[in-house]
Structure 1
């Protein structure tokens, strides 16, 4: 493995380093989310029964310890930066897990890895997001702050105490607005696919993604695609944490790694 640089470390967090992992799972947060959202996943998968899996988590700019870094409001530009930061980590098989906006970023970074390096993921987990080609005309990012807060409350993925604190809101809303602009202005390239298998996870009552929209991820891979449906809304994965972790673990320990071609 090439030694990560300081810039790599800004983007890629490694909560529980493993000495000799068999596979790395790179996690991509939702709009407004941060790498720390996946630290519990890393802790769980670093346990004795899962030590073959090492978790990396992407930290987008404009939040937490990167609060002073300029936000990036374009999916393509974000994908380019993440792709570059992942370069030191491609020495062993990779899998991606992306939730909501993170699923689209995971897909676009996977495409860059294939096109430029011939690296095919062992698995792409697409969670809580409709297929890249299933566009909806949404404009949350153009609304005022109250509209964005209302959107966050409706999805139940942000601590309500944070949403009621004006000082905290002033710090976090710019990054959230930027993320929403990135995902709402994203357009999938016609016929875009990856060669990795895809596992889709979706809540059956997700206002942002119907089950049919989620199943259409099958159109974006030349390999297999499986859709797993959970009860719940957009953040079903917090309610079904154990089941989601079991799915990730069993899948990762059964799939082959990426191929350099």
Structure 2
């Protein structure tokens, strides 16, 4: 089940996906493709190790963010600001972002602001089913964290050339994972996606790392 903490229709908040009572070592903060698609991350969390706590961003449901207007999510600096403000209390352990389709654009914008204003770097920014399509800025890449791009081999709306352009968004490592089929790989290749998340997070853990997994549990 998942738990939604008193989020009003015009609010931005985080849905905490409840998996087990085992304290987590990592947080995977998910940026869905729309305000109506957060439930997918319940099935994703059921396959992840209990050391990975899954949170999903709940977008506002007021006019302008209704179904069919999802691309407008990425055109709102205010929305990125509100998500940035909502994340503060959840940054007490290593974390990664997972953005799907338009959610990938938002995840990138929030990650950029996190690094610029707080110096906090993600473990990994996962960008799924999205090309790096907006205008390139001059100068060095905005991010220093690892970016992992996911794409379908036969998706006509997400050509691999555009997906590879994400490598220019970071000075860190870039990986591209291509799945068979068109646009449904988050369902048809769900276990492979989960394995990819595990591999990417665990590969960045120092051998002698010891995080406080017994920290006070955060209620939503």
Q: Give the TM interval when normalised to the shorter protein.
A: 0.7 to 0.9
Give the distance between the partners of 2:52 and 2:35, measured in 1 at CA.
26
Using a 3 Å threshold, how does the CA distance of structure 1 residues 111 and 253 change in structure 2: closer, same or farther? same
CA RMSD across the alignment: 2.3
| Count of residues in Structure 1 that have an aligned counterpart in Structure 2 | 190
Query: Is 1:21 aligned to residue 20 of structure 2?
Result: no
Aligned to 1:44: 47
Alpha-carbon distance, 1:188 to partner:
6.0
Query: 1:221-259: per-residue Cα shift (whole Å, max 9, x none)?
Result: 0100010111111232211111111111121122249xx
Alpha-carbon distance, 1:26 to partner:
0.4
Alpha-carbon distance, 1:60 to partner:
0.9
DSSP-derived class of the 2:80 partner? helix
TM value normalised by structure 2:
0.78
- Structure possessing the higher radius of gyration over alpha carbons: 1
| Structure 1 range deviating more: 193-202 or 9-18 | 9-18
Aligned to 1:92: 93
DSSP-derived class of the 1:35 partner? coil
DSSP-derived class of the 1:107 partner? helix
**1:140-155 matches, cutoff 5 A:** none
Q: Where do 5+ consecutive residues of structure 1 fail to align?
A: 63-68, 136-186
Which structure shows the bigger proportion of residues in strand conformation? 2
Give the distance between the partners of 1:58 and 1:250, measured in 2 at CA.
23
Aligned to 2:147: 198
Alpha-carbon distance, 1:35 to partner:
1.6
Give the distance between the partners of 2:136 and 2:80, measured in 1 at CA.
13
Aligned to 2:167: 218
Which structure shows the bigger proportion of residues in helix conformation? 1
Aligned to 1:57: 56
Looking at both structures, which has the greater relative contact order when contacts are Cα pairs under 8 Å and sequence separation is at least 6? 1
Q: Is the 8 A contact 2:153 2:180 kept in 1?
A: yes
Q: Is the 8 A contact 1:24 1:55 kept in 2?
A: yes
TM value normalised by structure 1:
0.66
Aligned to 2:82: 81
